[in-house]
Amino acid sequence: MELFFLGTSAGVPTTERNVSAVALNPRDQSAAWWLFDCGEATQHQILRSPLSAGKIEKIFITHLHGDHLFGLPGLLCSRSMAGSPAPLDIYGPPGIKAFVEMALQISGSWTGYPLAITEIGEGVIFDDGQLKVSARALNHPLLSFGFRIEQAERPGTLDAAALMQAGVAPGPLFQRLKRGEAVQLEDGRMIDGADYLGAAQKGKSLAIFGDTAPTPAALALAKDVDLLVHETTLEAAMAEKANSRGHSTTAQAAMLAREANVGRLVMTHFSSRYDLAGCQRLLAECQAIFPASELAADFCHLTL
């Protein structure tokens, strides 16, 4: 899995940061990306990145505030004008369908590719057997979702040396055995692939949150993930102001990461009051509670 941050500012852009958008490459060695939120000018950020709008196959919108949404119509139209035929799926809270359709209708625009829009609730919203996405409502003035993305378990490593000792030559049978199948050899022997597989490998998992004040739902969504992307809009001393507006502080995000036993905390969605030096102070506050805290920045690239 790879993460690429396209915007890390809260509410309004700054000279260093654009508003919210983060891209995820959820599959190993795949060119397809998923986009989480699409603030104003996200398509401009994509032009300055290794990503391509035509390679985005899914867009997940956490909530309908403009700094997470206003870049969506422009991106959809530019993707169409570029001639991309690839289907695109959008998932978001109730109202996302009306927003997209009205923006296209009033502007006389259209998409030249299949576009599916799904208005989501809590629970599993996508599962293809390899990747599962679950959503839960968080704590914000507008309905705001957090997403948990999980890879399925991977089969264990096939013990090729032991198979060859057993008289199985490398070839098509190896693929079947790696899938755990039982196969019959030419001499009549039955070989069970499960006997030659190592332990299954746990898939990667991460959680990407929309705007939220502290809530018990966050703990359930983030429990034991390898990486948590969480807003840290304001510093610890401004908890009352942050929470009253449905946001979290550095300390609150770090305490959640510690309680949820996550592998890494990636901070984002910083108030425009913080310049680059100010963000380093925010990082220090998080690391004092949860040492495995990292500061996201526009165009930062992370690998799980």
28, 37, 67, 159: the active-site residue: 67
**What gap in Å lies between CA 254 and CA 231, rounded to an integer?**
10
What is the Cα gyration radius of the chain? 22
| Residue 67 annotated in active site | yes
Residue 124 parent element (H or E): strand 123-127
Query: Could you give the dihedral angle defined by the CA atoms of residues 42, 211, 296 and 35, in that order, rounded to the nearest 10 degrees?
Result: -40
Distance, CA of 251 to chain centre:
22
| Residue for token pair 């990145």 | 49
The CB density around residue 245, as the number of other CB atoms within 10 Å, is 15
**What gap in Å lies between CA 77 and CA 241, rounded to an integer?**
38
Tokens representing 248 are 């979290």
Q: Please give the positions annotated as active site.
A: 67
